Chain A
Amino acid sequence: SQQGEEDPQALSIQEGENATMNCSYKTSINNLQWYRQNSGRGLVHLILIRSNEREKHSGRLRVTLDTSKKSSSLLITASRAADTASYFCATDARQVKTSYDKVIFGPGTSLSVIP
């Protein structure tokens, strides 16, 4: 089963507005990452937040992590049409079944920014 679940599945906003996407997960993690995927392309790493961090910024991106609630959020401020893409959270965690660390992706949020 997938570790991370994004919410909402799809989001449509006007250019200039902020976009917030949430991710919930089930087990303890080493870190949580956010990726972006443009249509027909590979995934691109945006930001990584470690389990002992609570907030991280990168340009117009702000990520928060609440390990007590097992949730994270990605905020994109002042959105642009070029931000239109799918966004995935990925949890890096030790798998109980295999004892190996694995990076597992959620189903993603499809963001549309309307010019």
Chain B
Amino acid sequence: DAGVIQSPRHEVTEMGQEVTLRCKPISGHDYLFWYRQTMMRGLELLIYFNNNVPIDDSGMPEDRFSAKMPNASFSTLKIQPSEPRDSAVYFCASSPDRNTGELFFGEGSRLTVL
């Protein structure tokens, strides 16, 4: 299995631009998570899905952030408009079963907003 695949690995954009981050979870995993990692705040859970349905989005920082999961093999995290404080590494993770708890992480998307 290829693992969780994220794209792009690096994104540099200017303030005000729209950013879309993409994630392909491991096939057969029912749960998908989006995390954000910064030096100041560490790893923060933004949102997670179960069977393509958003379950808890209480970690999404603002209305500028939105996440979708149109099917079991694809999810997007969109920031519109982007701001410099959104600069971070965004991780997608998937899990086969919440009872087991183990999360499988992608390599992350490093976002820099100038």
Q: Do A and B bind each other?
A: yes
Which A positions have Cβ atoms within 8 angstroms of B?
2, 30-31, 33, 35, 41-45, 48, 88, 90, 92, 95, 97-98, 100-108
**B100 in the interface (beta carbon within 8 A):** yes
A43-B56 contact given A88-B43, A101-B98, CB 8 Å threshold: no
Measured CB to CB, the nearest residue on chain B to A44 is B105
Identify the closest chain A residue to B55 (Cβ): A100
Contact with A along B72-114 (1 / 0, CB 8 A): 0000000000000000000101000010111111111000000
Q: Size band of the B side of the interface?
A: 20 to 34
A102 and B56 contacting across the interface, CB-CB below 8 Å: yes
Tell me which residues from 9 to 57 in chain B have a Cβ below 8 Å from any Cβ of chain A.
33, 35, 42-43, 45, 48, 55-56
A42 near B101 with CB under 8 A, answer no
Q: Which residue of A lies closest to B98 (CB)?
A: A101
- Contact indicator A105/B42 (Cβ below 8 Å): yes
Sort A-B residue pairs by CB-CB distance and give the 4 closest, nearest first.
Answer: A42-B105, A105-B43, A100-B56, A43-B105
13 of the cross-chain contacts (CB-CB < 8 Å) are: A33-B101, A42-B107, A43-B93, A45-B104, A88-B43, A97-B58, A100-B58, A101-B98, A103-B45, A103-B101, A103-B103, A104-B45, A105-B35
Considering only CB atoms, which chain A residue lies closest to B100 in the complex?
A48
With a cutoff of 8 Å between Cβ atoms, the chain B residues found around residue A90 in the complex are 103
Note all chain B residues with C-beta closer than 8 A to A101.
98
Q: What CA separation (Å) do A97 and B103 show in the bound complex?
A: 23
